[in-house]
Chains A and B, each alone.
Chain A
Amino acid sequence: MTVTTAPEPVVVDELITETADRLFGELCTHEAVQAAEEAGVAPDIWDAFCETGFDLIAVPEEAGGSGGTLAEAIEVLRLVGYHSAPIPAAENGILGGWLLAQAGIERPDGLVTVVPPRAAEVGWSGGGACSMEIAGDGTAVLNGEAHRVPWARSAELIVCVCDCDGQTSVVAVPASECEITPLPNMAGEPRDTVRFVGAAGVAAPAPDGVDAEALAQRGALSRVALMAGAIEKMCQLTVSYTNERVQFGRPVARFQAVQQHLVWAAQDAALVRMAAEVAAREATRGEAPFEIAAAKLIANQAAARATKACHQAHGAMGMTQEYPLHHFSRRLWSWRKEYGSDAHWSAVLGTMATSVGPDGLYPLITSGTAALG
């Protein structure tokens, strides 16, 4: 009989959860989140976040980061979502910080953001209107336009992954070199348009394992973590509200029709949190294309169902600005579309599922990426 060794456990320090939860709980009040949406920035919250070192969690210390594992960074992002903290935690840390550290590009003191690897219009490999030239000394000159760049308006440095002449590079351009037009997503979070007109930056060859696909996966994982937190908080609001709201002489949560919404939303909260944690665990160990794709698809679908259930259970109150449900539901509708739609990830997963064949289908479900061989 074989004796199989299970992989080492991936443990997240409880202190991280407690610290982030307390920090955001104090800072991200309904009013503060609302004010950040109107202002487009939340410097007080960002500064307090940076003081904890969470802004660079999972970025190696030798690259100027705070150290820690990807799973720990994902736990912080889950709490960002849970408290609707209006800050670019993912962009600065596990996306931008990761790209810079991998490529050996020095990071500035200020905020770093990342151009999401999306469709050809914002791609760099010949498609669309973008072009890049890299000089021998590593300086790059960019022309073109990038869309939906989170918090570009507040950033010091804008980082992207570019394919140029068969070479994948990480390119970092100071925001001062770019023309930035503010644009919000549906939750009022900055998703700005960035124009590069002869913008000068630095380029470094991307090492193995760093390319647009890897960035897409990491970005998707970041959104799953945010969504897990947001759905959980949305459910808790809904349970509280339906216990307080009295109609026909009893709390509306006593009605079976309302209970259905509570149960369905709770299932989705549990499902997405599980997906986020398992995907984070596997991505911490190595490549996890199946788990991340599965988690993002699950999160996208769950966001659709859970926002519907929670809004319905809240009645008209949930449709107002004064009640906080919208901080979560609007973020979920936005994050659902970022780093890959349902259709995108279904297609990716479909390729994996059909490639393993009928006898490999169940092992894929039980062992994930490891079953892809």
Chain B
Amino acid sequence: MRFTPTELTGPELDLQAEVREFLAAELPPGTHEPCLGMAADHDREFSAKMAARGWVGMALPSRWGGSDRTAVQRFIVVEEMLRCGAPVGHHWVADRQTGNVILKFGSDEQRERFLPPICRGELGFSIGMSEPDSGSDLASVSTRAERSDDGWVVNGTKIWTSNAHMNDWFICLLRTAPMEDGNKHAGLSQFLIDLRSPGLEISPIPFLDGSHHFNEVTFHDVFVPDINVVGQPGMGWHQNTTEMAYERGGPDRWLSPFSTVEQLLREASGTPMEDAVSDLFGELAARWWGIRNLSLSVARLIDEGEAPSVESALVKEMGTRYEQEVVEKLVQLIDEEYSPESESLFERLLAQCVVTFPGNTIRGGTIEILRSVASKGLQGLPA
């Protein structure tokens, strides 16, 4: 394991400046309610504007509608969007991972069908991994896809499916062969499923604050054509593990409370600041600087053709805990009672952080699972 320091090149700095200009024009402070990281509002219009700049699916090849950009360039766009709390929810999953999976494992027909609309910011994807009885032990999924004429028939239930009620497509890990003794990773396959397929039922699972992100998705004899199987049937576990690596270690795992902190500084400006508050801004700037350097080095490693799975698991485990620590420090320091409906934007954001951030160390793989992945890597064992 080695995180090599890296820094932005001239053209990368130009891109950063371009994104900052775009955001200053589109979302000047005070004109929008910032989102808290990747759990962002879905705004098809905003996604289309980003796509018009070539910033959605940007690392995909131009042959498939992408911009032939790098992981570092995507990092630059994503970090600027997240630190402003931009509404990137609609294209988020497709941009971060599904596009990559289709590029890497999909057929040319699938690439042609999905990648250009992803890059236009049109397609929103949900992820179908967890089930009522399969969470961290993902290989135990039991939602079945059974062979039928020129396709598959799916039955079972996926759960905690973010934004299935708003998205267009569903990338799902399904069991296509019974579980074998001693090799539970065999017999799994990845499918692309239209969220409006007949027999597919989406029911909300209200979030703890009453908001609607989570859903339960139930399949009643849902037909999926052969052309929607991603890669080789039976190779789903390997493909899924690869997909998870795209989820880890990026700015979405450490920037979620930034807009809250920035807003505190905005609201505190012009009045004398207590030393403890000033010191906290200093500490947070330092720690964000450190984590960002680690995270950026992971993106650079990806561009150098490496597969930094241990490094990205370490960054995600650390980054998501840091997000919670930031909130805890704010809570300890701020002598106000805040509510999701406070007049102050900072207080509204902080209340939302307090209530929703326990999920940050759970989503996309709990930190306990990440520790297991990372520590095997540290010991030189297969993950």
Whether chain B is bound by chain A comes out as: yes
Could you list which residues of chain A lie within 8 angstroms of chain B, going by C-beta atoms?
A: 1-7, 239, 243, 253, 256, 259-260, 262-263, 266-267, 270-271, 273-275, 277-278, 281, 290-291, 293-295, 297-298, 301, 343, 345-354, 357-359, 361-362, 364-366, 368
Would you give the shortest CB distance from A301 to chain B, in whole angstroms? 8
Does B8 touch A at the CB level, under 8 Å? yes
Q: Are A253 and B375 closer than 8 Å at their CB atoms?
A: yes
**Chain B residues positioned under 8 Å from A263 (CB to CB):** 314, 317, 370-371, 374-375, 378
Kindly state whether residue B126 has any CB partner on chain A within 8 Å.
no
What residues of A have a CB within 8 angstroms of the CB of B378 in the complex? 239, 262-263, 266
Q: Which of B17, B314, B379 contacts A239 (CB 8 A)?
A: B379
Summed over the interface, the residue pairs from A and B with CB atoms below 8 Å come to a total of 161
B179, CB-defined interface residue at 8 Å: no
- The residues of A that contact B79 with a CB separation of less than 8 Å are 366
Q: A358-B265, A362-B83 are in contact. Are A294 and B10 (CB under 8 A)?
A: no
> In the complex the two chains form, what is the Cα distance from A302 to B3 in whole Å?
16
Residues of A within 8 A of B9 (CB): 6
A1, A259, A345: the one within 8 Å of B375 (CB): A259
Residue pair A298, B5 in contact (C-beta under 8 Å): no
Please report the C-alpha to C-alpha distance between residue A3 and residue B7 in the assembled complex, in whole angstroms.
16
CA distance A256 to B5 in the complex (A): 30
Question: Does the CB pair B262–A298 fall under 8 Å?
Answer: no
- Contact call B273/A354, Cβ cutoff below 8 A: yes
Least Cβ–Cβ distance between A279 and chain B, in angstroms: 10
Which residue on chain B has the smallest CB distance to residue A360? Answer: B265
In the complex, what distance in Å separates the CA atom of A260 from the CA atom of B266?
37
5 CB-based A-B contacts, threshold 8 Å: A346-B282, A361-B261, A361-B262, A362-B258, A366-B79
Chain B interface (Cβ < 8 Å from any Cβ of A)? 1, 3, 5, 7-14, 16-18, 29, 79, 83, 258, 261-263, 265-266, 269, 273, 275, 278-294, 297, 311, 314, 317-318, 368, 370-372, 374-375, 378-379
Q: Tell me the minimal C-beta distance from A225 to chain B in angstroms.
A: 13
Q: Which residues of A contact B13 (CB under 8 A)?
A: 4, 6
A262 vs B380: C-alpha distance when bound (angstroms): 13
Distance in Å: Cβ of A293 to nearest Cβ of chain B: 7
Write out the residue numbers on chain B whose beta carbons fall within 8 Å of the beta carbon of A357: 265, 269
**B374 and A6 within 8 A (CB):** no
Q: Taking A259-B375, A271-B291, A350-B279 as contacts, is the C-beta distance between A364 and B5 under 8 angstroms? A: no
Additional 4 contacts, C-beta under 8 A, given A351-B278, A366-B292: A263-B317, A270-B314, A281-B5, A350-B279
Q: Is B297 within 8 A of A274, CB to CB?
A: yes
Residues of B within 8 A of A274 (CB): 3, 5, 290, 293-294, 297
